Amino acid sequence: KTVSVIGLGYIGLPTAAVIASRGINVIGVDVNQHAVDTINNGCIHIVEPDLDIVVRGVVSTGNLKATTKPEPAEAFMVAVPTPFKHSEDGSHKPNLDYIKSAAQAIAPVLEKGNLVILESTSPVGATEKLAAWLAEARPDLSFPQDKGDSADIKVAHCPERVLPGYVLQELVSNDRVIGGMSKACSEKAVELYQTFVRGECIITNSRTAEMAKLTENSFRDVNIAFANELSVICDKLKINVWELIKLANRHPRVNILNPGPGVGGHCIAVDPWFIVDSCPEEAKIIKQARLTNDAKPHYVVNKITEAADQFKKPVIACLGLAFKADIDDLRESPALQIVEELAKSDVGQIMVVEPNINDSEMPETLIQSEVELVTLESALEKANVVVVLVDHKEFKSADRVQFAAKVVIDSRGVL
Ligand code: SAJ
């Protein structure tokens, strides 16, 4: 049995490694030659706890092999990015180009009896599009949109739902929603997932599976927006929002999430737009949550500017660049957005502390505006304004005395 994983990023690589660790042969495919070479050397090009150990193991046993060109396999799991395109009119259109390229890349090697799974978070209808692209490229094979259960190729959507930082545990322990384009598609997909998932595999259709994933992340986005709105209200009313939330959460049916500098990452800040794009008239709360969360970084920038204006020579230490605690991922990070906005505004000297990256990983935009990457000690020694942007463990455990003489803006409630 051979499984092919298309896209060896934050989801594809751990999935490939976990399946390979079950003794199954896995061919990982990625367009990025550097990623392919790194993996074949038994190393990883992303940060995820313990992933390096698993990858080293399965590469050395020969169970995982990476390549840039798809090869025949029994099952193909597509885990490529699904970003959106910003438009001038404020709309956000999903970009399915990577799914289309993946379909075109695997189509030539498809064989009768194969299973194709879309794992990427996708707008409703994307799995049907994937199947249509495959059918277009392979008129000699039959697909479920035409032949249902008796189709040569089975197609299903099984959205990934793992939390960065806990990917290896959650890949195995989370329940999986399996949305086949026919009953036979779902059943074949369940068989594959049962080789490595300990959670339950629950069958539905592909459109419901797509919507389920979008719903989960929109639920979280709406709830974070509620917390962020509260933080701005409390600021105005001179109430400590952290104390307030702790008190309200004592109620048995209240569970408010944490306010922060905004919502980042490649999931929660993206997926709700897929629902808004499908139903712009109906998705009112979902859209407002996105706008509320997207406005938060700018609010924090204004707070920092106000604080800096108290000093003749403001030196601002920004603690954290990643999109959330204890990871190196800067994608769609509100912390990075805030530092970039500050750097552009000439508000003072800016330094950042990000324990999860090194100098070579510093974003180009920050290097150009002469923002320095420094240690926490050095930042706290030199700065008069300290801004907590990410709740990294290094900041949580920092000696409070070091902050005593500073103006502190704590967007995460760490201190
Ligand atoms: N955040 C807050 N306050 C909170 C919780 C989070 O401001 O109370 C911020 C974080 O700092 C971060 C952003 O929200 O900037 C998103 O972080 P997250 O930890 O909520 O989620 P992600 O993006 O790392 O992963 C989510 C997860 N989805 C849900 O929890 C519903 C994960 O299970 C999904 O698999 C993942 O999206 C994905 O790939 O879609």
Single-letter amino acid, residue 298: H
**Is the Cβ–Cβ distance between 299 and 232 less than 8 Å?**
yes
Q: Specify the residue with its C-alpha closest to ligand 1, atom 37.
A: 267
- Mutate which of 267, 332, 356, 411 to test ligand 1's pocket (most atoms within 8 Å of Cβ)? 267
- The pLDDT value recorded for residue 47 is 82
- The pLDDT value recorded for residue 390 is 98
C-alpha 393/C-alpha 285 separation (Å) is: 33
Please indicate whether residue 260, judged by its CB atom, sits closer than 6 Å to ligand 1.
yes
CATH for 2-206 is 3.40.50.720
Rg (CA), the chain: 23
351: left (phi over 0), alpha (psi -120 to 50) or beta: beta
Question: CA torsion sign, 128 to 84 to 193 to 69?
Answer: positive
Question: What's the topology of domain 235-410?
Answer: Rossmann fold (3.40.50)
Higher pLDDT, 70 or 84: 70
Length of the chain equals 415
Note the pLDDT tens digit of each residue in 310-364.
999 999 999 999 999 998 889 889 999 999 999 999 899 999 999 999 999 999 9
Q: Specify the residue with its C-alpha closest to ligand 1, atom 25.
A: 163
Question: Which of 333, 322, 335 has its CA nearest to residue 409?
Answer: 335
- Cβ-in-10-Å burial (0-12, 13-18, 19+) of 198 comes to exposed
Within the chain, which residue ranges are assigned CATH 3.40.50.720? 2-206, 235-410
Average pLDDT over every residue of 206-211: 98
The answer to whether 318 is a known catalytic residue is no
Cut 0.90: pTM above it: yes
Note the pLDDT tens digit of each residue in 105-116.
999 999 999 999
Note the pLDDT tens digit of each residue in 384-406.
999 999 999 999 999 999 998 99
Is the ipTM higher than 0.90? The answer is yes
Average pLDDT over every residue of 276-301: 98
Give the DSSP letter string of 181-230.
Answer: SSHHHHHHHHHHHTTT--S-EEEEEHHHHHHHHHHHHHHHHHHHHHHHHH
Active-site residue identified among 213, 287, 296, 324: 213
The answer to whether 213 is a known catalytic residue is yes
- The pLDDT value recorded for residue 91 is 86
